[in-house]
Structure 1
Amino acid sequence: MNNSYPDWRLEGHYFETCNCEVACPCLWLQPPTEGNCKLLAAWHIDKGHLEDVGLDNLSVALACYAPGTMIEGNWGAALYIDELADTAQTEAIIQIFSGRAGGHLSVLMGFVSEVWGIKSVSMDYQHSCDIHRLIIPGIAEAEIQSIQGIAGGNATIHNPPLCVVPSHASVVSKSNYFRYQDNDQAWNFSQRNGFHSPFIYQP
């Protein structure tokens, strides 16, 4: 652990979906399918803490727009925090997901040049073996479904150059729907890229 950062750890499940074709070329540091990337990532924290603040059973989402190849940065992003979080939990989540607490989220947030906003919202995060779904009423609805591999089981990608979760292999998926409307953005896609996996984040 890096002693310059607070003691924290999150574990749970996550999924993401974007406007790229399956599988997203951004993982390989290539330009997005449509020249830009419109991404929604969502996490459900099964177990977590920052110092003595417990973060179990809370959800978080990030809407993100990259105007070109993602590794080049200049992302715009908005953070959504489960309204079930109290003030201390909200502040802890902001500290972690802004990247100020270190770890892989610090790497990802280093690409963000414009923060559209941070909101406390109602969030319904659901997941099973094959389906991951998020509903933020009036803002976002997304559902992805796992793609099966040729040898059986889920198709996966392990250790790409760029990813949201480095701790686990990503299950390649396809969106059943993906809608987002907020911060002067209006996205509506289906049958596009998705990934999901367990996650562990820490400094």
Structure 2
Amino acid sequence: MAWQISGEYMETCNCAFLCPCIVTNLQGRPTEGDCKAALGMHIETGNKDGVSLDGVDFIAILQSQGPMGAGNMTVGLVIDSAASDAQVEAITAIASGAAGGPMAMMAPLVGRFAGVERAKVSISREGERWTTLAGAFIDETCEGVLNMAGQPLVLDNASHPVNSRLALAKAVRSVFDVFGIQWKDDTGNRNGHYAPFSWSG
């Protein structure tokens, strides 16, 4: 059956701003040698196989050992503990690419699906500052890079599964500790993005 989800997303990663992965179509070497990123996803409206996904928050976290385009990535999901088992099943199918849609184009690059963890996930926004929290697993905040008129600078026509138009942001805080993926930084010099999304399959 057809499915659709739409809402808002934010992410931080361990690359120095501006992430070479996004501007080299995943062929560039990450600035730290490997790539670690956490994508916080807030579903405003969604449905799969008759299961409502309205209001569910989840995080896709990944690690590549070199350029993302080389594949063999590890990917895992942290899904809000308030989600039902049916919602978890639906989101897992969508976010893993098993149900088709935008994440399916990333599936050939994934060497290991690390599974699903449950935690209280919250994604919040204050102006151009976004924060995603998930228990002891994820604590990340990014803030948009603004032009002189106070509007976010954007990267357009990007080859990114969430949206082809991404706001540029710097990671204010970026802490990951889940699925063996660990990272901690609060220098303000790391990469981030945010954007609305609308997926279907």
TM-score under structure 1 length normalisation = 0.91
| Deviates most, 76-85 or 143-152 | 143-152
CA distance in 2, matches of 1:17, 1:67: 17
> Are positions 1:189 and 2:163 aligned together?
no
Partner SS state of residue 110, structure 1: helix
> Are positions 1:120 and 2:118 aligned together?
yes
Task: Give the corresponding residue for 2:4.
Answer: 9
CA distance in 1, matches of 2:125, 2:8: 8
| Deviates most, 128-137 or 38-47 | 128-137
CA distance in 1, matches of 2:18, 2:149: 18
> Are positions 1:36 and 2:31 aligned together?
no
Task: Give the corresponding residue for 2:172.
Answer: 176
1:18 to 10, 13, 18: 13
Contact 2:60-2:95 at 8 Å conserved across structures: no
Task: Give the corresponding residue for 1:46.
Answer: 44
Q: Structure 1 residue 20: deviation in Å?
A: 0.8
Contact 1:99-1:110 at 8 Å conserved across structures: no
Task: Give the corresponding residue for 1:3.
Answer: none
**RMSD over equivalenced CA pairs, Å:** 1.4
CA distance in 2, matches of 1:117, 1:31: 26
Amino acid at match of 1:103: G
CA distance in 2, matches of 1:56, 1:128: 21
Q: Structure 1 residue 75: deviation in Å?
A: 0.4
Identity of aligned residues (%): 28
> Are positions 1:67 and 2:65 aligned together?
yes
Moved runs in structure 1, 4+ residues, more than 3 A? none
Q: Structure 1 residue 128: deviation in Å?
A: 3.4
Unaligned runs of 5+ in 1: 1-5
